[in-house]
A and B are shown apart, each in its own frame.
Chain A
Amino acid sequence: MSAFRGHDLRPRRPASEWTEPVSFDVPEGEWFVIRTTPVRSGELLRLCCGLDEPAPPGIMEVLGENPGSMRRDAVFNFRRSLGVSLQPDGLVSNLPLIRNLIVPLVYSGNRSPAQATQRAEAVLEMLELTNWAQARPSELPPDLRQIAAIARALAPEPKALVLEDPLNAVRSRMASAVLDRCKAIVPSAIVTVFRRFEPLYDIADHLVLWDSRGFVDAGEGVA
Chain B
Amino acid sequence: MILDAIAATGSGVRQVGASSALLTRFVGALARSTLTYPRTAFRLWWRAVTNQVRFTAADAIPFVGTVAVAVGGIVIVEASAQAIKFGGLSDTLGKLLASVIVRELGPLLTSILVIGRSGTAIAAELATCRVYGEIDALEAMGVNPLHYFVLPRILGAAISVAALTLLFDAVTLTSGLLAARVIQNISLEEYIGSLKLAMRAWDVVEVTLKGAISGAGIAALCTFEGLRAGRAPTEIPQAVTRGVVDSLLFVVGLSGVFAVLRYL
CA distance A42 to B159 in the complex (A): 40
Residue of B nearest to A88 (CB): B133
Q: Produce 1/0 per residue, A116-159, CB < 8 A to B.
A: 10000000000000000000000000000000000011001000
CB-based closest 10 A-B pairs: A90-B137, A109-B38, A80-B142, A79-B142, A84-B140, A90-B133, A104-B141, A88-B133, A49-B140, A107-B143
Segment 116-140 of B: residues with Cβ below 8 Å from A: 129, 132-140
Q: Which B residues touch A73, using CB under 8 A?
A: 32, 36, 144
Is A51 touching B38 in the complex (CB atoms < 8 A)? no
Interface residues on A, range: 35 or more
Knowing A108-B38, A113-B43 touch, does A91 contact B137 (C-beta < 8 A)?
A: yes
Q: Which A residues touch B142, using CB under 8 A?
A: 76-80, 82, 104, 107-108, 156
Q: Produce 1/0 per residue, B140-157, CB < 8 A to A.
A: 111110011000000000
Name A79's contact: one of B36, B133, B139, B147 (CB within 8 Å): B139
CA distance A104 to B38 in the complex (A): 11
Q: Which A residues touch B132, using CB under 8 A?
A: 88, 90, 93
Is A82 touching B140 in the complex (CB atoms < 8 A)? yes
Q: Which B residues touch A152, using CB under 8 A?
A: 137, 141
CA distance A156 to B142 in the complex (A): 10
CA distance A79 to B29 in the complex (A): 18
Knowing A106-B44, A109-B39 touch, does A79 contact B141 (C-beta < 8 A)?
A: yes
Residue of B nearest to A94 (CB): B125
CA distance A77 to B211 in the complex (A): 36
Q: Produce 1/0 per residue, B46-65, CB < 8 A to A.
A: 00000000000000000000
Does B41 sit within 8 A of A, measured CB to CB?
A: yes
CA distance A164 to B201 in the complex (A): 60
Is B141 touching A156 in the complex (CB atoms < 8 A)? yes
In whole Å, how far is B145's beta carbon from the nearest beta carbon of chain A? 10
Is A106 touching B133 in the complex (CB atoms < 8 A)? no
CB<8 Å pairs between A and B, sample of 11: A76-B139, A86-B133, A89-B133, A90-B134, A90-B137, A93-B129, A104-B142, A108-B38, A111-B40, A116-B40, A156-B142
CA distance A141 to B38 in the complex (A): 33
Q: Which B residues touch A191, using CB under 8 A?
A: none
Is A79 touching B44 in the complex (CB atoms < 8 A)? no
In whole Å, how far is A94's beta carbon from the nearest beta carbon of chain B? 8
Knowing A79-B142, A156-B141 touch, does A106 contact B134 (C-beta < 8 A)?
A: no
CA distance A111 to B136 in the complex (A): 21
Is A107 touching B137 in the complex (CB atoms < 8 A)? no
Name A93's contact: one of B134, B139, B143 (CB within 8 Å): B134
Does A1 sit within 8 A of B, measured CB to CB?
A: no
Q: Which A residues touch B143, using CB under 8 A?
A: 76, 103-104, 107-108
In whole Å, how far is A80's beta carbon from the nearest beta carbon of chain B? 4
Name A86's contact: one of B36, B136, B148 (CB within 8 Å): B136
In whole Å, how far is B129's beta carbon from the nearest beta carbon of chain A? 7
Q: Which A residues touch B135, using CB under 8 A?
A: 90
Segment 204-257 of B: residues with Cβ below 8 Å from A: none
